[in-house]
Structure 1
């Protein structure tokens, strides 16, 4: 299994969003949900229109079986409203073009993320990069590792720092300045 990284550069992230919004709105919504909620791709793909009409997304996580309640940010709410306009509540948000009202598969989500990585010359990118990107920017904005640890249901702050790539960033910075 490949270890993936968050997308750390805010300019590249903005370029990705702009590109996807212009070329494939469904894929744009998938990325926006991932980077604004920190949900795993398995939980994103099971979301339906009815799950995002209120102020919060309330789901039972597939991996943990725990119920999770996530506030829908203002930016995400605006984009979701555009995406769900005139759609029935039962429709999947990240709908496959094949068949009647089926979500895309995790392997298709991975192909989408790989094509984004290729388009923007990113390495070590996969579906989990969305969740890690949320965590990385949340930590950079609030510097609250304890809260992020709880959001991710991690067992320790150290696990969370390693998970979002901050530990690697710190090592890289120190090694850049290191001289013998």
Structure 2
């Protein structure tokens, strides 16, 4: 399994959002959900329209079995309201074009993200990139590693810092200035 990275550049994130919004709104919503909630792709794919109509997304995490409740940010709420207009409550949010009411597969989510990576010449991008991007910017904004650790259900702070790429960033900064 390849190790994926967060998208660290806010300008590239903005460009990706614009690109996806213009090309496929469903893929745009997937990207926004992942980068604004920090949910794993498997949990995102299980969401139905009814799950995003309130103030929070409430789910039972597929991996951990734990219940999680996440506030829907104002930007995400606005975009979701546009997207779900006219959709049935039981409809999958990230609905596949195949079948009657099925979500896209994890494989399709990966293909979507890989095509974005190719378009923007990004390396080490995969399904976990969305979750890691959320964590990376959450940490930069709040510097609250303990809260982020709880949001991710990680066992310790070091795991979380490595997961979001902060540990690698720190090593890179120090090695740039290193001289023998």
Matches within 5 A, 1:3-152: 3-152=3-152
CA distance in 1, matches of 2:160, 2:98: 37
Q: Which runs of 4+ in 1 moved over 6 A?
A: none
Task: Give the TM-score normalised by structure 2.
Answer: 0.99
Question: SS where residue 155 of structure 1 aligns?
Answer: coil
Question: SS where residue 31 of structure 1 aligns?
Answer: helix
For the aligned residues, what is the CA RMSD? Answer: 0.4
Task: Give the TM-score normalised by structure 1.
Answer: 0.99
How far has the Cα of 1:45 moved from its partner? 0.2
CA distance in 2, matches of 1:34, 1:145: 19
Question: SS where residue 8 of structure 2 aligns?
Answer: coil
CA distance in 1, matches of 2:17, 2:179: 39
Q: Deviations over 1:30-64 (max 9, x none)?
A: 00000000000000000000000000000000000
**Unpaired runs of at least 5, structure 2:** none
CA distance in 2, matches of 1:18, 1:175: 35
How far has the Cα of 1:86 moved from its partner? 1.2
**Unpaired runs of at least 5, structure 1:** none
Q: Deviations over 1:77-125 (max 9, x none)?
A: 0000000001110001101011111100000000001101100000000
CA distance in 1, matches of 2:126, 2:79: 23
How many aligned positions are there?
Answer: 180
CA distance in 1, matches of 2:133, 2:163: 10
CA distance in 1, matches of 2:129, 2:19: 18
Question: SS where residue 19 of structure 1 aligns?
Answer: helix
